[in-house]
A and B are shown apart, each in its own frame.
Chain A
Amino acid sequence: MKVLEVQSLNKYYGSLHAIQDLNLHLESGQVLGLLGPNGSGKTTTLGMLLGITLPNSGFYQWFDEPEHHLARLRIGALLETPNFYPYLNADENLAIIAQIKGVQENFSPLLDLVGLGNRRSSKFSTFSLGMKQRLAIASAMVGDPEVLIFDEPTNGLDPQGIAEVRNSIIQIAKSGKTILMASHMLDEVEKVCSHVAILKQGQLLAQGPVGALLGNQVLVEISASGVEMESFIQSLPEVSNVEFENGIYYFQMPENWTGAEINRLAMDKGFTLSHLQLKKRSLESEFLAITKDN
């Protein structure tokens, strides 16, 4: 089921074209990592999808819900720093979120989950950075949202905190929730995400399954209608990481293969490929260039 559709989204800050014709899609159950260096437009993108940054042009829609704010009621998000009313305690801050979401619930299980059960009556201003972050994760879960959005969720945490947050996200993903997560760390995305979209200077370089996009080999995309593609792909030598999505097969092959050779093998089997694309080392080297910037 489609959860999010983004078409040609653009955002300008003065003369800076911060987001350029962005297209994205998110399916139910995916954990999509939005990967890119600082300043590549990740937070701007999430800000637009959450209604706080207004796009200059383009279209996005959550859950086929035309009213963005009604869609946001079904989303839990943690964007940059946790924002709460510092003079209110943990319970009262969650009550404000629940009031907005129109839900009534007992926050004890949530606060226990993030280890704040015994501090629920303490004012937010007395919390440490880690506790603030954990309250933010709890607040994102208020109302049991279908989709969770995290922006650099492990930023500023110590190694143990990083591991805890990553494990929580993996646990949340296992419970069937759809997750959109921005990160500038390749290994974080590889560990946590099922899919990845790579962003650089406001442009989407690629989107697809993690295994297919971030491997060392050449990525092949093929499709053809009405034929046994699976067995054809398996018949190719040294094929790995076969994935199927939206009518397209993604798989990896050693770099020395060319499109012509694959096409010839398909012709030999007696069918024509309707789609054939090889992404040679370009994506990999793009990605290395991105990560070098950090």
Chain B
Amino acid sequence: MLNLLKLEWLKFKNYRSFRVLLLLYFTLLPLIILLPLSLNISSTFSELSNVTSFYQIPNIFAAAGYLGSWIVFLLMGVLGIQLITMEYEFKTLRQNIISGLSRSQFFFGKLSFIAAIALVLTLYYLFVALAIGFYHTEAIYLSRLTKAIPFLFNYFLQSIAYLITGFLVGLFIKRPGLSVLLYFAYAMFIENIFRYIIHKKILANESMNYYPFNAFEDLVPIPVPKILEKTVETEGYDFIMQNSTAVIVSLLYLALFLFMIYRKIKTSDL
């Protein structure tokens, strides 16, 4: 597996999109986390009465995770697409197989590379959250630090989810531009049309939450309880899933996506 991971690294370390997307992530993550502080957001939203409390440990893990998840969604879907469309574009998937890679090895190489990227994203999130958290917190206790662990797991799973979903789209569409368009069109419009216009009309209950992007999004939800409570009051159920539900639904979608990816790689002429 390490050899397969090294192979992917050799392919991508000098690939411009790869470098640019990771660099954007490293730059944008601290910026977007600090953005609410500079916007004086408390006066607009009464729910956010004391915005600096979000920047204290352990609250920072939820806030940074939620804000960071937008960057991950925007950048890592595109990277996931690039991880496979690049191999189609240069016909190198074909060449890899001819050179002696098995199709399973190709799949597991990509999967381990995706896991490695998600790990880097998560460790950087931890680093940024800790740095900002230490700055805003007077007393640090180990018990507060350990509250980060579930957020790390969810953030890691969410990163994997966006990368793999992008990969799935890229694998079937093959062309990078069209794949990116479809990824965002589905995530931002198509899924919401299904949820709020079609599904909610037929079945107005929690089942309308069980869509892939919604599940991935709810892994690291908006950390403002008052906003969450509002939908329960007006609709009778929550628009945001319980964390355990979000994890299970996400894992089920990921299992399905990975099965589709594996099958496609195993059974198509290249």
Contacts and interface: CB of A to CB of B under 8 A. Distances in A.
A100 B7 contact: yes
B6 A99 contact: yes
Contacts of A121: none
Contact of B98 (A52, A70, A81): A52
Nearest to B94: A52
Nearest to B268: A54
Contact of B100 (A54, A81, A87, A100): A100
Given A52-B270, A72-B99, A101-B99, A84 B14 contact: no
B1 interface: no
A212 interface: no
A99 B269 contact: no
A70 B91 contact: no
A92 B13 CA distance: 11
A100 B100 CA distance: 6
Interface in B231-270: 267-270
A157 interface: no
B14 A92 contact: yes
Interface in A31-46: none
A87 B101 contact: no
User: Quick one: which of A50, A69, A100 has the most chain B CB within 10 A?
Assistant: A100
Contact of A73 (B90, B94, B100): B100
Contacts of A95: 10
Interface string A57-73: 00000000001111011
Interface residues of A, number: 30
Contacts of A52: 94, 97-98, 269-270
Contacts of B97: 50-52, 69, 72
A236 B269 CA distance: 51
Contacts of B270: 52-53
A85 B90 contact: yes
A92 B10 contact: yes
A47 B270 CA distance: 9
Contacts of A84: 90, 92, 95
B11 A96 contact: yes
B46 interface: no
A80 to B, nearest CB: 9
Contact of B14 (A79, A88, A97): A88
B269 A54 contact: yes
Interface in B132-163: none
10 nearest A-B pairs in the assembled complex, by CB-CB distance: A69-B102, A73-B100, A83-B95, A72-B100, A83-B91, A52-B270, A100-B99, A50-B98, A53-B269, A99-B7
